[in-house]
Amino acid sequence: MPIQADDPRIVEFDVRTDEMLVNMGPQHPSTHGVLRLVLRTDGEIVSEVEPHIGYLHRSAEKIGENLSPRQWIPYTDRMDYLAAMNMNLGWSLVVEKLLAYDLPEKARHLRVIICELGRIASHLVGMGAYGLDLGTFSPFLYAFREREKILDLFEEACGARLTYSYLTPGGATADLPNGWLWRCESFLRELEPVIDEYHALLTTNAIFVKRTAAIGVMSAETAIDYGCSGPVLRGSGVDYDLRRDGEPRYTGMYDGYAFEVIVQKEGRYPSDHKYPPVPREAVLGDCWHRFYVRMLEVVQSIDLVRQAIDRYGKCKGDWGTPIKLTQKLPKGEAYLETEAPRGQMGFFLVSDGNAIPWRVRARSSCFCNLSVTGELCRGCLIADVPAIVGSLDIVMGEIDR
C-alpha cells in the first residue's frame, strides 16, 4: 500500500553538508614541488584555496650578501632549476648593468642560443608533467626523451646537466666546443616533427580538452591585477613579452631577431595555421590556452635558436670574459627583469662600493602566478585543482628562495 502525503511517518528535513579542510601536499604529486594547498570544500566543490609556501626556503638572498656576484651564480641555478641557464642570465645582466659593461657581439648571440634552448627544455617538462597531472604517462616520457638531448648539449658546453653556472657576469665560462652548433642544428631538425606527436597526444586529445578547456578561466584584468607574467599572462590574451617590451639592456640581446609574441589576437595565434586550432570548448584564459602558449613558444624558440646560430657563426672575437671574483662594484643599485620560461624574473642589486653586494633581492615570476590560485579555484571541483595548478607551471625553488 503506497504511503500517503499526509502520513505521520513522513519526516521532512534539509540535507546539509559540513565544510571540510583538505590538505593537498606538501608531498602531493600534483603540486609541482613541496607546496601545501589547503582546500576548503563543501562536498566536491572547492570554496577556497590557500597556498602555504616556505618548505624549500634556503636563504639564497642572504647568502648573496656574503659572496661576490660571480660566486652567487650557482645559487641562481637552484631557483628555477628547470631553467637554470635563464636564471644565470638574469643575475649576470643586472651585475653588468651596475658595472655599465657591454657584452661582445658573440656573447650576445651565445646567450640567445643557450637561453632559448633552456626555454624549450623547461616547456617540455611543463608539458610532460601536466599530462602526468591529468593521468597520462606517455607524454612525460616523450618530453624527457627530447629534453635529454638538450641536456647533452649543455653538458658539452659546461660539463653539467641541471645546475650549470655557465652564463656569468661578463659573458660565459667558456666558448661552445667544436661541432656543437652542428649538433644543435641536428637536434632542432629532430625535434620539429616530434611536436606534432605532442599535439596528437595532448593538445587535441578529447579527454585532455575536457579536463582543461573552460577550467580555471582568468581574465586579462585579473592576470594583470595579480602581477602574472609569462605564458600565464599571455594565455589570457595580454600581448606582453620582455624580450620585446623590456629594458634595452635585455631587449638588445634580441636586436635584429625576427619573432612574434605568442598571444591570441582576433581569435588566432601566430603560426596556428600549422598547428591544431583552438577547440570550440576552450575559453581564452583557461588551462588549455596556458598550455597551448607554451607549446607554440617551443616552436618560436626553435626559430630563434636557428637565427642565433647563424649570427654566432659569423661573429669574430671572444665570448666575453667573466669578471674577477675580487672586482669591486661601483656604489649604486640596479634592477632588471628578464623573460624566463615562467615569466618575469627580476634581480635587484645594491652595492656600497665593495666586492660583496650590500643587498641582493630576487623577484619570482612563480610567486605572482601562484598567488592567483585561490581566485581560479573558487567554485571548481576538487579534481580540477591539479589541472589549474599544473597550468600555472610553478617551480617552488624559485618561490622559496
Question: For 7-49, what is each residue's pLDDT tens digit?
Answer: 555 555 555 667 888 898 787 777 788 899 999 998 889 999 9
As beta bridge partners, residue 172 has 167
pTM above threshold 0.85? yes
Contacts of 400 (CB under 8 A, 6+ apart): 34, 53, 54, 55, 56, 57, 58
Closest CA to 259 of 86, 112, 90: 112
Confidence at residue 250, expressed as pLDDT on a 0 to 100 scale: 94
User: Cα–Cα distance between 5 and 109 in angstroms, integer?
Assistant: 82
Q: Where are the domains of the chain?
A: 59-399
Counting residues of the chain whose pLDDT is more than 70, the rounded percentage is 96
Closest CA to 327 of 90, 61, 100, 70: 70
Q: What is the pLDDT of residues 302-352, one digit of tens each?
A: 999 999 999 998 888 888 888 888 889 999 999 999 999 999 999 999 999
Q: What is the pLDDT of residues 129-171, one digit of tens each?
A: 999 989 888 999 999 999 999 999 999 999 999 999 999 999 9
Q: What is the pLDDT of residues 349-381, one digit of tens each?
A: 999 999 999 999 999 999 999 999 999 999 999
Amino acid at 107: A
Cell representation of residue 133: 597531472
Query: In this model, does residue 105 exceed pLDDT 60?
Result: yes
DSSP code of 201?
I
Contacts of 331 (CB under 8 A, 6+ apart): 351, 352, 353
Length of the chain: 401
Do the Cβ atoms of 344 and 87 come closer than 8 Å?
no
Do the Cβ atoms of 244 and 338 come closer than 8 Å?
no
Cell representation of residue 147: 629534453
In 114-255 the beta strands, taken as DSSP E runs, fall at: 167-168, 171-172
- Which numeric CATH code is attached to 59-399? 1.10.645.10
User: Cα–Cα distance between 168 and 183 in angstroms, integer?
Assistant: 24
